[in-house]
A and B are shown apart, each in its own frame.
Chain A
């Protein structure tokens, strides 16, 4: 049904070209074998287990997975925002330039945060301090990181608001978060995140809390700004529709592990992990059911296993239609199944063929 042709949600690939220059792009941030654990009353929960990724300049890397898959913890680990205790980065390297962000001091990471690597959050309404004006909050970061005088910082902040298409930026600077709408606030968050000209922008479900029309505006805005600022975007989402619209490369995570990674076209055309395949089949596509014979959206049975009580072998096996005894006995290695296409599944080839 979906397998051999391009997934209908990915109509964007038709214009092509976007991925051609990929190999030449500079890697600005790379994560190697990241492992983040949380001490819980039920034992140690390994929220992120051996995840590696590369963020390239001017590209969008999407990290997809359901709640509890470890996608947000991966992002927070990069920012070193894991609350500790109970959380801890126990292994892995987070390379940014010649820094290993997992190992440097708190003081050093403060210089990187919000400056070279910035983040936008899921809930713009609560991510701004309610008692400080928009202007105050924007200039704060600019003053600290860029060493600008207050007046210059204000000018820059106003410019940034203008660039995220906020009307009357001067007036908005004086207003407080409760006086702006959710979509407006997310624009402010984006303006703040980009105000110090970061190399990497981590967006943790930036459109989840917004209604659909605003969602598409925000996504368009992020795409436009990426072109201007040439930043690497790491986009955390559970929405395959957003992935199709935004991403260049996709990482699919399940129960703390990376289970598949490929270019966005590859992922939609030839998913090689049954979990990815399940995600895609659970996606409604406009106009897909041909008249008369309706197609039911498929679901993935079961739920994500508890991180303190993971199955032996493949973590997806209990929910997988393809699972065999091998799957239940041994975790499949993450291997390159096709050029630039990694998957951790014993039956990857079989799945690609269905």
Chain B
């Protein structure tokens, strides 16, 4: 129950004042009631704090070569060890969170916005816009996301920004499908017809009636999508098509540490763990939100 109010509260700021403020609070509590989601949320918060305060908490300059001995194992001075240029890996991992969160939000932002527009338009308009849009989506859907991302990077050129765009574009069909599906379900519900009967015009039907009902499932999809995007961008960077040296992007760190894996495994272990943990965190959080939004799980 509270979740619906929570979403509605976001949609209608002018009424927020008149609504009990505990609604948002109760939603958060419902999410955190799931232990996995609580852990996920905690890790995500840690990532955000690390990203914001990277300058302050990182013990060394992530870019400075020769800050310490080359390929030194973990020690008190360099808890995660150093890489082949003597850079502090802990500092690089901490600064890497900035890039990771950027990739996650920008890539998901791109695919969510485009996918939402396409799916909503196709589902609402029906007829030929629906056929053209959804068939195109189906065609793109039939290729794997990595392949599309690779093609996009090939066209745009290798760089971290382009990798984000590429990962974002590659995931559009998925978001479009989800939005389309939810839109079809919602527009066939009686309240939609009732809203038309009450004289609502297109814009009102879409933005006031459909959108607030479509957002909840998309929040779940987007949270889970962050982890996919992080993973895909790391893969691109690993292939040398994303972040370029000396950027402390985790995927790129894996790629450059590849040669030293037998001699100095920490060069790959820590960035690899960082990717795994952050992906896990977003998955747990997404799952928790989905459960909190699931009406069958709700208790009053």
Contacts and interface: CB of A to CB of B under 8 A. Distances in A.
Interface in A100-156: 107, 110-115, 118-119, 121-123, 126-133, 135-136, 140-141, 144-145, 150
Contact of B1 (A115, A135, A178): A178
Interface residues of A, number: 36
17 contacts: A81-B193, A113-B196, A113-B198, A114-B197, A126-B191, A129-B191, A129-B209, A132-B8, A132-B209, A141-B198, A141-B200, A144-B199, A144-B200, A145-B199, A176-B5, A176-B8, A178-B1
Interface in B246-261: none
Interface string B3-40: 01101100110110011000000000000000000000
Given A121-B193, A130-B4, A141-B199, 16 more contacts: A110-B201, A113-B196, A113-B198, A115-B199, A118-B197, A126-B190, A126-B191, A129-B213, A130-B213, A131-B8, A132-B12, A132-B209, A144-B204, A174-B15, A176-B5, A178-B1
Nearest to A113: B199
A247 interface: no
B18 A174 contact: yes
Contacts of B190: 121-123, 126-127
Given A110-B199, A141-B199, A145-B199, A128 B5 contact: no
Nearest to B4: A131
Give 10 nearest A-B pairs by CB, closest first.
A114-B199, A114-B198, A113-B199, A127-B194, A126-B190, A131-B212, A119-B197, A131-B8, A129-B191, A141-B198
A127 B191 contact: yes
Nearest to B19: A174
B18 A132 contact: no
Contacts of A144: 199-201, 204
Interface of B: 1, 4-5, 7-8, 11-12, 14-15, 18-19, 127, 189-191, 193-201, 204, 208-209, 212-213
A94 B297 CA distance: 48
A158 to B, nearest CB: 13
Interface string A166-203: 00000000101010000000000100110000000000
B194 A121 contact: yes
Interface of A: 79, 81, 85, 107, 110-115, 118-119, 121-123, 126-133, 135-136, 140-141, 144-145, 150, 174, 176, 178, 189, 192-193
A1 B208 CA distance: 56
Contact of B12 (A119, A136, A193): A136
Nearest to B213: A131
Contacts of B198: 113-114, 118, 140-141, 192-193
A81 B4 CA distance: 28
A129 B208 CA distance: 10
Given A123-B190, A174-B18, A131 B11 contact: yes
Contacts of B194: 119, 121, 127-128, 189
B8 A133 contact: yes
Contacts of B196: 81, 113
Given A123-B190, A126-B189, A178-B1, A140 B197 contact: no
Contacts of A123: 190
A113 B197 CA distance: 6
A192 to B, nearest CB: 7
B217 to A, nearest CB: 12
